[in-house]
Structure 1
Amino acid sequence: MSRVARLLRRTFGIVREHVGTDNLGNKYYSVPEQKTWTGRHVRAKRMVEAANPNEHEYMEGSIPMEWDAWIRSRRKEPPSIEELLKNESYREQIKLKAIEVEETDLALQAKEYEDGLVATPARTVAKGHAASTTFGKQEISEDPTSTANTFQPGSWMPTPKK
């Protein structure tokens, strides 16, 4: 925000209170309900000043979900640093547990295949559906094949559309 805009804001009474900053550098502000010097009523707002103000560079996850909940008024108090750190460590633990469960599942599945408890998935070679008349047959290409040096103009005719 420019210096002139900040000076005008301070001079004419629309005051915003810095509430906090997240680990990505975004700054969060609260504008309390107030009246301006002209008598105009300004309702309470919550806003974020992005660390990266270019709109085209915004990505989902640029605002932590705790701060997003505060901005959207789903929570009354802004998140504390302790809460943010606790939630981040919890998310990391969940990711590690998910990787561990996936590895265990793959090992169990491999053991079941090895023991013969579960049939290995069959790999289908034929394209199409078994009820189709062309099932299992080689598809005929409508593209001309290269005849290299023996090509005669007008010798290839495209197949009629069905």
Structure 2
Amino acid sequence: MDSVHISVGIQLQAEDPLERERSLGLLRRIVRAKRIVEAANAKEYEYMEGSIPMEWDAWIRGRRKEPPSIEELLKNESSREQIKTKAKEVEEKDLALLAKEYKEGLVATPARTVAKGHAAATSFGKQEFNEEPTSTANTFQPGSWMPTSKKD
């Protein structure tokens, strides 16, 4: 590969030799090889991230020198499938163990919380007052209060 020299101008009063060489256009620029992928779907808007295998992506971006072989691609794909299978098995095992612990009473079941006054909920009927104050979005509902009887 021939080196390419580009002269962009001369700086007569360069202070260090490197700067002088740079101003004279004597430094070489390293030009990377252009790597292009011809996608199966030719329309750019149909591209989805992750549709190119990471081995090819690494080669395109210059993080690896040699393009991936078919054997490497197949090996890595089977490895990823094994990992997915093992992860699914571990998750099922964990859920079964958790269900067993709930059944035996070793672990308390999580309490279900109800979102009262949710923004998506429509309110029908009479508004109920509660002793506890509530706050949703921009509204504040103070708790109900009854005055105490007068003591004589």
What TM-score bracket applies, with the shorter chain setting the length?
0.5 to 0.7
Residues 79-122 of structure 1: CA deviation (Å, up to 9, x unaligned): 11110000000000001001100000000000110111100111
1:124 lines up with 2:113 in the alignment: yes
Aligned residues: 96
Does 2:41 align with 1:52?
yes
Letter in 2 for 1:57: E
Q: Which has the higher strand share?
A: 1
- Report the Cα distance in structure 1 between the residues aligned to 2:111 and 2:52, rounded to whole angstroms: 45
Amino acid at match of 2:55: E
With normalisation by structure 2, the TM-score equals 0.56
How far does residue 52 in structure 1 lie from its aligned partner after superposition?
1.0
Task: Report 1:131-146 matches (<5 A).
Answer: 133-134=133-134
- One-letter code aligned to 2:94: D
Structure 2 unpaired stretches of 5+? 4-30, 118-131, 136-152
Q: Separation in 2 of the partners of 1:34 and 1:54?
A: 36
CA-to-aligned-CA distance 1:139-160 (integer Å, 9 cap, x gap)? xxxxxxxxxxxxxxxxxxxxxx
In structure 1, the partner of 2:52 is: 63
Q: How high is the sequence identity, in percent, across the aligned residues? A: 81
Could you say which residue in structure 1 is the equivalent of 2:15? none
Q: Which residues of structure 1 form unaligned runs of 5+?
A: 1-32, 36-41, 136-162
Q: Provide the residue aligned with 1:75 in structure 2.
A: 64
Q: Is the 8 A contact 1:34 1:43 kept in 2?
A: no
- Distance in 1 of aligned mates of 2:2 and 2:61: 20
- Asked if the contact 1:66–1:79 (Cα under 8 Å) also holds between the matched residues in 2, the reply is yes
Deviation at 1:34, TM superposition (A): 7.0
Whichever of the two has the greater Rg, that structure is 2
